[in-house]
Amino acid sequence: MPNSADDLPAVVTGGAGAIGSALVQSLLGRGRTVRVIDNLSGGRREHLPAGPGAARLSLTVADIREPATYAEAFRGAGEVWHLAANPDIRLGTRDPRVDLEHGTIATFNVLETARRFDVRRVLFSSSSAVYGLPTVFPTPETYGPLYPQSQYGASKLAAEGLCSAFAHSYGLTTYLFRFANIVGPGMTHAVIYDLLKKLQADPSRLEVLGDGRQAKSYLWVDDCVEGMHVAKERASAPVNLFNLGTEGQTSVREIAERVTRAMGGRAQIVYTGGTRGWVGDIPLQLLATDRIRALGWTPKFTSSEAVDRTIAVTREELGL
Amino acid sequence: MPNSADDLPAVVTGGAGAIGSALVQSLLGRGRTVRVIDNLSGGRREHLPAGPGAARLSLTVADIREPATYAEAFRGAGEVWHLAANPDIRLGTRDPRVDLEHGTIATFNVLETARRFDVRRVLFSSSSAVYGLPTVFPTPETYGPLYPQSQYGASKLAAEGLCSAFAHSYGLTTYLFRFANIVGPGMTHAVIYDLLKKLQADPSRLEVLGDGRQAKSYLWVDDCVEGMHVAKERASAPVNLFNLGTEGQTSVREIAERVTRAMGGRAQIVYTGGTRGWVGDIPLQLLATDRIRALGWTPKFTSSEAVDRTIAVTREELGL
């Protein structure tokens, strides 16, 4: 008989995505049964672990906006890791409804389904995007007011508020993780992937959005996953909020140079100019991580190490 | 020819509600043409001013969730005051979808419609409920993290984030007002109205939810409206965030005693006990108002004066 929630299946929405699949791997490694819900738009079936433990893994291909199509996966689960979202921040500026539907409303549906099936713990991947353009670096979880610059950031803030309301109204225990830039295998967007794709198309010239001085913290995906486990194991308030990032930053200029060097150093780097890469971009991001570090978490890789590892793995994936 | 946005019509969603109709009155008094959008669920047609200026007032009866039914009212408007919402915080615990739809999604639709019709200013009635259970009193706008306790609070936080994202993505100028408890004529819910209704049903006994020690700031509705005008006239950032409240608080015990005294002092007051009146209730609320005061705003009435005035006007309305 199960004697704790950790003996029950774990639900992972977006589990076939880059972060989700690393989380699924870690859960299988801990002996858990894992039920992935993914629409396979950003995620890919082949991201899901095929090795030992794969027999304990199931996949429901479903649209997170349609709870009736995936609700059964919640039955008898110990917790829900809600990672599904629109991963492309820029898309939200062109079509603001995407983040409303795939972010805010989807999170509402996940929380309602958890409540309906009496799943008592919900862990949510929020984002540093909720901070907007903060004036304090590193930015602590207590920073305010929060002025998100993008529809993506607005949807993450909305989802945090929903988690809090469900926690306090219905007794759920919730975990909110404000991610720095999470990097690793299986990336299909964001700066490293974009730059490598550009070099694949034209090895002689690398156009970089912005002036290259945008600087952010890049966290290796397994460090991120480990941070979520640490929080879940050691914190138990109704709402447990943690920044997850590295202590250092890497500038876009440094990433462009590392990418170019990794590819043989032949490309000329050209900056489009401006302090932001795109509308809604956050030029400076560095999160205070005292809270999660106080629970015993330390990332294995620095920001620049995480960038280098991601360049290497993405080159392999792109056949570069 | 119009030479400024203030010569153009003002749109007021929820304009037939208690706060909305006071705002409409003030706009007509300033010579504005006013287009009210209201579903007349909480609002009432008879709240709308009938005196001088009423010829400059029009009403679209529409559901704020259905932008196609009211979008034309945005054409050529100078600004939108978005006040429509579910006014009953307790309802959200029983049916969490109400605040998602009437709060978050409705605000998204209002912002999208403003963008579509190139209405450059949006003013939004947020709430002290976004603060959840703060640990700092009076609570400043910079307080964080924000853990709303109710679906109502979550929807207000979500709507703030949407205003910020629209402001930064599309160049809107937005005003976010975190209201204390706003009181005045035309109230159809909240503590003063509830207590008077109870005394109307049974003049001998007054049951009060909680232990009576919940203490909040009550702001007279015309002071609230004046604060919004001051902000609009004197602040112009992409996002302009202001608490609106009084410097003092009034306890529920004091309100119960004032209500009982006003009704002849015969009723026995009985407290149900517990620190909160209901799930999602915020037992202590006091907002720092330095920001709006720095722009020259001062409320005419203290919290207890606002309570007394509201008792008097609600008695009249209830025929008590």
Tell me the DSSP string of A104-115.
IIHHHHHHHHHH
State mean pLDDT over B8-33.
97
Where does the pLDDT of residue B93 fall: very low under 50, low under 70, confident under 90, or very high at 90 and above?
Answer: confident
Residue A93's pLDDT is: 87
| CA–CA distances in Å: residue B299 to residues A74, B222, B228, B302 | 51, 9, 12, 7
| CA–CA distances in Å: residue B158 to residues A33, A294, B32, B97, B169 | 34, 30, 30, 14, 16
Residue A2's pLDDT is: 43
Roughly how many angstroms between the first and final C-alpha of chain A, as a whole number?
50
Where does the pLDDT of residue B10 fall: very low under 50, low under 70, confident under 90, or very high at 90 and above?
Answer: very high
Asked if A174 and A194 sit in the same domain, the reply is no
Asked if A11 and A135 sit in the same domain, the reply is yes
Token couple for B241: 């965030």
Asked if A147 and A197 sit in the same domain, the reply is no
Chain A contact for B131 (CB, 8 A cutoff): no
Chain A contact for B93 (CB, 8 A cutoff): yes
* Strand (E) or helix (H) holding B304: helix B303-318
Nearest to A158 among B143, B158, B280 (CB): B158
Asked if B46 and B193 sit in the same domain, the reply is no
Is A225 contained in some domain? yes
- CA–CA distance, B239 with B172 (Å, rounded to integer): 9
Asked if A72 and A108 sit in the same domain, the reply is yes
Is B1's pLDDT higher than 80?
Answer: no
Three-class secondary structure of residue B259 per DSSP: helix
What are the φ and ψ backbone dihedral angles of A179, each rounded to 5 degrees?
-75, 135
Is B224 contained in some domain? yes
Nearest to B149 among A92, A144, A168 (CB): A168
Cβ-in-10-Å burial (0-12, 13-18, 19+) of A75 comes to: middle
Nearest to B162 among A130, A154, A169 (CB): A154
Give residue A264's domain range.
Answer: 185-216+249-285+301-318
pLDDT for B199-216, tens place per residue? 999 999 999 999 999 999
- CA–CA distance, B175 with B238 (Å, rounded to integer): 8
Alpha helices in chain A (DSSP H): 18-29, 91-94, 97-99, 106-116, 151-170, 190-201, 221-234, 252-262, 290-293, 303-318
- The number of folded domains in chain A is 2
Is B279's pLDDT higher than 80?
Answer: no
Strand partners, B244: B179
Write out chain B residues lying below 8 Å of A158, CB-based: 104, 154, 157-158, 161-162
Asked if A101 and A203 sit in the same domain, the reply is no
Residue in A91, A95, A104 to test binding to B, most B beta-carbons within 10 Å: A104
Is B154's pLDDT higher than 50?
Answer: yes
Asked if A30 and A154 sit in the same domain, the reply is yes
Residue A137's pLDDT is: 97
Token couple for A318: 């792109």
DSSP character for A259? H
DSSP letter string, B111-167: HHHHHHTT--EEEEEEEGGGG-S-SSSSBPTT------SSHHHHHHHHHHHHHHHHH
CATH number of the domain within which B230 lies: 3.40.50.720
The minimum CA-CA distance between A250 and chain B, rounded to whole Å, is 25
The minimum CA-CA distance between B183 and chain A, rounded to whole Å, is 25
Residue B2's pLDDT is: 43
Closest alpha carbon within chain A to B238: A147
Is A142 contained in some domain? yes
Pairing assessment for the beta strands A239-244 and A173-179 based on DSSP bridges? parallel
Q: What's the longest Cα–Cα distance across chain B? A: 63
Residue in B104, B170, B242 to test binding to A, most A beta-carbons within 10 Å: B104
Is B295 contained in some domain? no
Residue burial B288-316, b: 16+ Cβ < 10 Å; e: rest:
bbebbbeeebebebbbbbbbbbbbebbbe
Asked if B114 and B193 sit in the same domain, the reply is no
Q: With CB atoms and an 8 Å threshold, state whether B161 touches A141.
A: no
Chain B contact for A100 (CB, 8 A cutoff): yes
pTM of the predicted protein model: 0.96
Three-class secondary structure of residue B251 per DSSP: strand
Asked if A81 and A117 sit in the same domain, the reply is yes
Residue burial B250-287, b: 16+ Cβ < 10 Å; e: rest:
bbbbebbbbbbebbeeebeeebeeeeebeebbbbbbbb
Asked if B178 and B198 sit in the same domain, the reply is no
| CA–CA distances in Å: residue B82 to residues A177, B6, B108, B214, B260 | 31, 17, 11, 29, 35
CATH number of the domain within which B304 lies: 3.90.25.10
The residue type at A140 = P
Contact indicator for B177, B125 with CB cutoff of 8 Å: yes
State mean pLDDT over B241-252.
97
Strand partners, A57: A34
Is A294 contained in some domain? no
Closest CA to B97 of A112, A75, A71, A167: A112
Chain A contact for B272 (CB, 8 A cutoff): no
Q: How many CB atoms lie within 10 A of CB B130?
A: 28
Three-class secondary structure of residue B1 per DSSP: coil
Is A290 contained in some domain? no
Is A296 contained in some domain? no
Residue B153 or A265, more confident: B153
Is B69 contained in some domain? yes
Asked if B108 and B157 sit in the same domain, the reply is yes
Asked if A257 and A150 sit in the same domain, the reply is no
pLDDT per residue rounded down to tens, chain A (320 residues): 445 888 999 999 999 999 999 999 999 999 999 999 999 998 999 999 888 789 999 999 999 999 999 999 999 999 999 999 998 888 888 999 999 999 999 999 999 999 999 999 999 999 999 999 999 999 999 999 999 999 999 999 999 999 999 999 999 999 999 999 999 998 877 899 999 999 999 999 999 999 999 999 999 999 999 999 999 999 999 999 999 999 999 999 999 999 999 999 889 999 998 887 777 788 899 999 999 999 999 999 999 999 999 999 999 999 98
